[in-house]
Each structure stands twice: as C-alpha cells, then as structure tokens.
Chains A and B, each alone.
Chain A
C-alpha cells in the first residue's frame, strides 16, 4: 500500500506540524544540521519498522522530517539517536546504518535496545532511539489514512478525517 502526499500531510498534522510539502528547509539555530543524513537514516529505519507492503516511504519520510526540522530541540534529539545507530552499526557491522541490509539494520535497532525500550525523549540511548526514530516513524504511519487503512481504520486518531467514517459500516 503506497504512502501518498495525503498521508504525509496527515502525518505532519499528527506530529504537530503543518505546512506544505514543497521547498527546502533551514532548521532554526546556528549549528548546521546534516538533513540528508537524518533523512536517509529515517528512511533506512522505516524500511525496518514499516510493514513490508508499504511503499512510497522516501517522500513520506522526507515530508514529515521537513516538519520536524522546525524545532531545534527535536532535531538535536534526532541527531543524537542517529549517531547512536551509526556508532552501533560501525561496531558490529563496520559500516554506517544506512549502508546495511534491512536485516542488519533491524539487528542494530535491537542492539541499541529500541525494541524493548519505552520511548523517552530525554532517557537512555535505547529510549531516545525508540522516541526519535522508531516511534516517530510509527506515529507518522499509523496516524495517516494509509496506515489506518492497513489496520482497518480509515480515520485514525490524530488524523482530521472528518465525521463521515464513524457512521459508515464495514461494507460501505
């Protein structure tokens, strides 16, 4: 099932940002941010944490990352989580996270403990990776129409999908 522009807008809404999908982003703050690195890492992680039937991940991730860049503190947290993934990947696989196979990327996520950690933006490395990478991606997906439809709910919590669907039956 392909993630669409509508999903990206919905994800931005659920993630607390809004705007268009066009144009470039200059994060606030004086320190430069390697946006490409963040984008590529999130796409690489999404290929692990999203169901295999989901396609269109790259532009979807780019869109919601663009919204996240508006907040410096969030981006610094994401940068830290990405660094954790890269460092673990180099220790165990002698390469950066994005260069690994999907299976090895999954192993890195497990190595850092993101599979069992509760999310916490100011917690341990495991908890921060869970917050800034795994759960940000899962929130973006499952609060979008496509993510909701995968589960059987076309207007998931966090998506402003109107007041029609709650009235409809399963075969409507």
Chain B
C-alpha cells in the first residue's frame, strides 16, 4: 500500500520543530525565498559564503502537490487557498483607481510566486532598457541589454528554459535555449492560417518548463494546472534554488517574517524577525539582500524608518514604493464551428512579438498570446452548481460547452507613474501588528489606448478565423498580469532612484535588492527571467564587495 498523499483538505505547510534561532557569523542574510532570493542564496553559498534565508511564509511539502492541484480545480477553494494564503498574515489595502487583487497575485512561502506562476520567460527587448531615449517616455535603465545578456543566458540555464530560435523579433542571443521548445498546438495551427493571411508572424514561447528531463526534474506530463500548481515539478519553481542553496550550506528559516531592519546611517546591522511562537530574533550579517518582490520589499523598507531615515530605510530619494507597475492584460475570444482542442495543457506554445518594437510615446510595447486553454475546463464546469446537476444532462451540457472555444491574450506595458505606488496603511495591521501594504495602482492612458489597439488586432485575427467573438478584455475590463514591478527603481542618480546599477541601495553600503522592484520600466514581457538575470548580477556584486 502506498496511499500516502492526502486529499485537498489535508494539504498543509510542513510543521516541524526547526531551530529558528539566528545563524551565527552569517556573511549574507537574504530576505525572501522566491526566485531572486533563491538564486542569490545559491550563488553565494556556492562561493563559500555563510548564507541565511529568512522567509515569511512556510515551507511546503512536495508530496502535497496533487492535493493542492485538487484545490485548484474544486470550487470550494479560492485561489489563495491553493498555497495556504493567510488573510491575517497577508492583509492589504487597495486604494488606487483600480482594485488590485494582491493575494491572487502572489504566493508566500519557500518558492514564492513561482509556485503558482505560468512559467513564461522572455528577455526584455533592447529598447525596453532605453524607453525614454528610444520611445520618448518612461525612464532609461542604467544598464542596457548587452550588460544583462550574459546573465540572461545564465538565467535560462538556471531555470531550465525550453525555447527555439524562431522569433525574428527577439533580441540577439548567442546560444540555443537549454531545451527544445514545446511543439505548437493544434489550435496554433488554426491561428497560423489566419495569421498568414494577415501577415502576422507567430513563433514559439520560451517556457521555464521541461520539454525533456532537465536538472533532475521530469519532462512535462500534461497535468494542465500549471497555474497555480505543477504536481510533476516540470515547471520551474524557486524551491529548486532554495534547496540547492541548502545543499551548499545555506540555512533557511521559514515562517520568519522580517519585522524591520535595524541600521545605522550607512549600513544594515540586523534583520529582526518573528517566529510562529511570536518570539523575536535578530539576524545580523555582513550583507543583506532584500528579495521580497515588488510589494513586500518597499513595505519592509518603509516599516524600517528611523530618525535618520524618517521616510523609510534607503529612501533618501523619497521613491521607495513609488512607480508601482504591472502588465495590463488584453484579450479577445470566441467560438468556431469546428473543434479547437483546448485545455489539454495549461501553457502556451505560440505568441507574436511582431508589434512590440513599434512602441513609441503614444503606443506601449505589447505582445500577443495564442491560448491553448480558452473556454471552460469540463471538470471544473462539472463541479459548478450552475446549470445541469449531474447524469446525462450534465454530460450533454459539458459536450455543448466544450470544444470550439478559441482565444487570444496579450500583455501591455504601463508606464512608471509616481502616483502609482505601494505605501503603508497604518489603519490596518497584519498578524504581527505591522501596517499592511496599500497597493495604490494607477494606469495611464498610453496603456489603455494600446489595449484598444491589441483588441483590434485580436478581432482581425479572430474574424479571419471565422470566429464569433464572445468575450473581450478591453480598457474597461483589463486587469493586472500579477507582475509587481518598479517600487525600488534602479538608476544612476541617488536623487532619482533607490538602487544603483549594481543593485545596491544608494543609501546603505551593505544592502542589495534583487527583485522586479528595481525595474525602472516594465516592458511587456513576463518579468521572471529578468528577475533571475538581475539576481545573478546582484550575487556577483555582493561577492565583489565582500
């Protein structure tokens, strides 16, 4: 007998009597066990540094992944339930012009949001690093594509990327992807005919998902629930690097939310963290790397205010928390009068970046996605209390609803705006009494007008296919792609940025930030490959400094 994996209700974080006391003589304290923190910790541990990772959330049992998959399918469970979201721990406010569903956008624990991510990994384009110069809006990064290029290649190896050299719009690269791309889907072939007629090029999607065995993880087996959980481990998540860092001697302290960073004028002295039994500990280290993502990173800095830094640590610029960005979703879908073969897998195999570099001051960069999972998933529909109850009636309803849907998505850049920010809401506190993050998300006209342009292209393609359009996410219905960026922006001028091109804060000599929070602009490419590349770069700079 080997019935060793419980059903949905029993999946839970690992419980243990782990020693959560600080590590003596730590060289580096990494805060956050997502992809950035995991990669930095792995690199530094490999280099012989004594590394400790403090993670606010729990460590999850890999044997629970099928149970978590059940949560993803069953209507009794909301999306944050899949990874044990805790409403008290994760409390937040959303006060911007658009509601921001923060706890649907993140997973907290060892692995971070890569536990629930889609796994699409593109490099930013060259002009994304020079938005102000090349497009006349936004900001220039203090580094360019060539600076990051070797790190991109290394990041692709670290994550394990399946891709092909068939994208004529992608920035230059020297080496092939570590694995071959996933072949196109049947519905891609339907799109291809229409796109050929319209002279719109399609190409493969780089996926951080194994198309063959890689890094001791299996090839994708087609569970179809990539987002929010991959039971097979074929989709990369940051537990890969966190566990590797541990094997190299790093210490991971989970369920240890950092409450504040104790500091002097020029350096952090210690991270004060809480434990599940509500003790407080003080982790000192020579160097600190903050890797908590685009929301918790600025929050921690703001919570760490002092007489020297009354507006928040590392915030002499006044810009910590400012320029919060996400990508905007634009989509259109419909039905054909023929089978479209959707929902066999949970990932994408084709996109078009053809229009990306048309971007200028008025039009944002955007990419087009061709869905493999448009329309209802029959099993999910079967469990709903709407419609037919069961038996032959339910089957007839499922057969009627499934089979002919076809859809497209797209991501659109939003410009950095000072009035889009992550702040603190002192009127609401979390489970440790700290003010919660206030996500004040504001989107500008350029992005909204570009969404209209994306919708127009999507409508043309679907019209060419002969589809009857049944849904559209336009400027009114758009939402975030759950990519938090921009809240501790990188720049050369201390008055205009929080970290320098070496990812070190301008104010503190021993504090680096590895996160999408350092992006000065967001482009329209999914950010995690760039996060990983910057994490590798940050690790190099930490090693150079110590």
User: Which residues of A come within 8 Å of B, CB atoms?
Assistant: 13-20, 23, 25, 48-52, 66-71, 73-74, 77, 106, 109, 115-121, 130-131, 134-135, 138-139, 141-143, 147-148, 150-163, 165-170
Q: In the complex the two chains form, is A153's CB within 8 Å of B73's CB?
A: no
User: Is B232's CB within 8 Å of the partner chain A?
Assistant: yes
Known contacts A119-B385, A138-B382; is-contact A167 B185 (Cβ 8 Å): yes
Chain B 357-375, CB-CB to A under 8 Å as 1, else 0, gives 0000000000000001000
Q: In the complex the two chains form, is A148's CB within 8 Å of B390's CB?
A: no
Q: In the complex the two chains form, is B224's CB within 8 Å of A159's CB?
A: yes
Q: In the complex the two chains form, is B343's CB within 8 Å of A52's CB?
A: no
| Contact partners of B385 in chain A: CB under 8 A | 115-119, 130
| Contact partners of A121 in chain B: CB under 8 A | 9, 76
Interface residues in B1-53 by Cβ distance below 8 A to A read 1-11
In the assembled complex, how far is the CB of residue A50 from the closest CB belonging to chain B, in whole angstroms? Answer: 7
Known contacts A71-B9, A156-B377; is-contact A52 B392 (Cβ 8 Å): yes
| Contact partners of A109 in chain B: CB under 8 A | 390
| Contact partners of A158 in chain B: CB under 8 A | 69-70, 73, 223-225, 379
| Contact partners of B344 in chain A: CB under 8 A | 153-155, 161, 165-166
Cα A18 to Cα B64 with chains together (Å): 11
Q: In the complex the two chains form, is A148's CB within 8 Å of B73's CB?
A: no
**In chain A, what residue has the closest Cβ to B377?**
A157
| Contact partners of B184 in chain A: CB under 8 A | 167
| Contact partners of B379 in chain A: CB under 8 A | 14, 138-139, 142-143, 147-148, 156-158
Q: In the complex the two chains form, is A70's CB within 8 Å of B5's CB?
A: yes
Q: In the complex the two chains form, is B402's CB within 8 Å of A16's CB?
A: no
User: Is B475's CB within 8 Å of the partner chain A?
Assistant: no
Q: In the complex the two chains form, is A168's CB within 8 Å of B76's CB?
A: no
Known contacts A51-B391, A155-B344, A157-B343; is-contact A17 B9 (Cβ 8 Å): no
**In chain A, what residue has the closest Cβ to B224?**
A157
| Contact partners of A50 in chain B: CB under 8 A | 390-391
| Contact partners of B4 in chain A: CB under 8 A | 18-19, 70
User: Is B168's CB within 8 Å of the partner chain A?
Assistant: no
| Contact partners of B391 in chain A: CB under 8 A | 48-52, 106
Contacting chain A: which of B393-401, B484-492, B497-505?
B393-401
| Contact partners of A52 in chain B: CB under 8 A | 391-392
**In chain A, what residue has the closest Cβ to B346?**
A157
Q: In the complex the two chains form, is A143's CB within 8 Å of B402's CB?
A: no
Instruction: Give the interface centre of B69, B221, B380, B385 by most chain A CB atoms within 10 Å.
Output: B385
Q: In the complex the two chains form, is B74's CB within 8 Å of A119's CB?
A: yes
Cα A147 to Cα B398 with chains together (Å): 11
Q: In the complex the two chains form, is B9's CB within 8 Å of A18's CB?
A: no
Q: In the complex the two chains form, is B1's CB within 8 Å of A19's CB?
A: yes
Q: Which range contains the number of B residues in contact with the other chain?
A: 35 or more
Q: In the complex the two chains form, is B66's CB within 8 Å of A17's CB?
A: yes
| Contact partners of A150 in chain B: CB under 8 A | 395, 398-399
Q: In the complex, given contacts A16-B64, A50-B391, A170-B186, what are 20 additional A-B residue pairs having Cβ atoms less than 8 angstroms apart?
A: A14-B379, A16-B68, A19-B2, A52-B392, A74-B10, A115-B389, A131-B76, A134-B390, A135-B74, A138-B379, A142-B398, A147-B379, A148-B379, A150-B399, A157-B223, A157-B224, A157-B380, A162-B222, A163-B219, A166-B345
Chain B 268-295, CB-CB to A under 8 Å as 1, else 0, gives 0000000000000000000000000000
**In chain B, what residue has the closest Cβ to A138?**
B382
Cα A67 to Cα B346 with chains together (Å): 26
Q: In the complex the two chains form, is A152's CB within 8 Å of B186's CB?
A: no
Q: Which of A13, A19, A51, A148 contacts B3 (CB 8 A)?
A: A19
Cα A135 to Cα B11 with chains together (Å): 19
User: Is B182's CB within 8 Å of the partner chain A?
Assistant: yes
Q: In the complex the two chains form, is B75's CB within 8 Å of A73's CB?
A: no
Instruction: Give the interface centre of B184, B232, B349, B383 by most chain A CB atoms within 10 Å.
Output: B383
| Contact partners of B1 in chain A: CB under 8 A | 19-20, 23, 25
Known contacts A157-B346, A166-B372; is-contact A16 B399 (Cβ 8 Å): no
Cα A77 to Cα B402 with chains together (Å): 32
Q: In the complex the two chains form, is A73's CB within 8 Å of B9's CB?
A: yes
| Contact partners of A155 in chain B: CB under 8 A | 222, 224, 344-345
**In chain B, what residue has the closest Cβ to A116?**
B385
Cα A49 to Cα B211 with chains together (Å): 38
Q: In the complex the two chains form, is B11's CB within 8 Å of A16's CB?
A: yes
Known contacts A17-B66, A19-B4, A70-B3; is-contact A166 B185 (Cβ 8 Å): yes
Q: In the complex the two chains form, is B341's CB within 8 Å of A168's CB?
A: yes
User: Is B408's CB within 8 Å of the partner chain A?
Assistant: no
Q: In the complex the two chains form, is A160's CB within 8 Å of B221's CB?
A: yes
Cα A116 to Cα B386 with chains together (Å): 8
Cα A147 to Cα B383 with chains together (Å): 13
In the assembled complex, how far is the CB of residue B6 from the closest CB belonging to chain A, in whole angstroms? Answer: 4
| Contact partners of A19 in chain B: CB under 8 A | 1-4
| Contact partners of B70 in chain A: CB under 8 A | 14-16, 139, 158
In the assembled complex, how far is the CB of residue A76 from the closest CB belonging to chain B, in whole angstroms? Answer: 10
Q: Which of A16, A141, A159, A161 contacts B5 (CB 8 A)?
A: A16
User: Is B62's CB within 8 Å of the partner chain A?
Assistant: no
Q: In the complex the two chains form, is A151's CB within 8 Å of B378's CB?
A: yes
Cα A165 to Cα B220 with chains together (Å): 13
Q: In the complex the two chains form, is A166's CB within 8 Å of B222's CB?
A: yes
Q: In the complex the two chains form, is A165's CB within 8 Å of B222's CB?
A: yes
Cα A23 to Cα B354 with chains together (Å): 58
